[in-house]
Structure formats: structure tokens, C-alpha cells
Amino acid sequence: PEAAREKSRNGITPLHCICGKGASLESLSMVLNAWPEAAREKSRNGITPLHCICGNERASLEMLSMVLKVYPEAAREKDEESYTPLYRIRGNKSATLEKLSMVLKAYPEAARENFVIRDDIKE
């Protein structure tokens, strides 16, 4: 449990790593159960675990759902470049309409803030 709260000098938590590397749902669940507030943590450059999931081509819809369930406001968080997690989905080659819809449902205004091109999303 204490290891779940450790941070690198860049503010990266184990949850950031799990979300960014596409680790198992079991690992994600274990860290979120030990420290639910980890979903709110930002790295030094403002990246949240949800940003990591949205940019990760191996992250599952279930991972996205788990983090949004714990901290739905994560969809509103902006990194140091003022990008929300929705912007990360746009650049993700494995993005699906389900992932896009889930983030947009949590924060519809993100579509205006971070221009999304339909051709970037797989059907």
C-alpha cells in the first residue's frame, strides 16, 4: 500500500506507470484500492493517470472506465500545454469511439478545447 504512494522526482506515481504501460486490470485495481486519490495526482508537467491511459495504445476500455469511475473530473484536467486527456486520444492510433465517448461523456466541453478530427478515431 505505501509503495502505491511513491513518486519519482518528476511526480510520476505507480498509477501513472500502470496507465502508461497498459499493465493488467488487476494491477490497476490494486493501486486504486490502496490509494484512490492517485487518480488525482499530476506529474511535474501536469499529466494525470487518465492522460496516460488516453495516450496508451495498449490501454483497455476497462482501464479508462476504472480511472474515470474513481475520478470523473480527470477528464477536465489539463497538462502544462493545456491539453485534456481527450487530446491524447486524438493522437492514439488504437483510439476507439467507445473510448472517445467515455471521455466526452465525462467532460463534453473538451471537444471544444481540444479540437478532435473524426478521421483520427477508429470505428
Which pLDDT tens digit goes with each residue over 4-51? 888 888 989 999 999 999 789 999 999 999 999 999 999 999 999 999
Mean pLDDT for all residues in the chain = 89
The residue among 43, 47, 53 whose CA lies nearest residue 21 is 53
pLDDT tens digits, one per residue of 61-100: 999 999 999 999 999 999 999 999 999 988 888 889 999 9
Domain coordinates in residue numbering, the chain: 3-120
- The confidence score (pLDDT) of residue 67 equals 98
Q: What's the pTM value of the predicted model, to 2 decimals?
A: 0.87
- As its CATH architecture, domain 3-120 has Alpha Horseshoe (1.25)
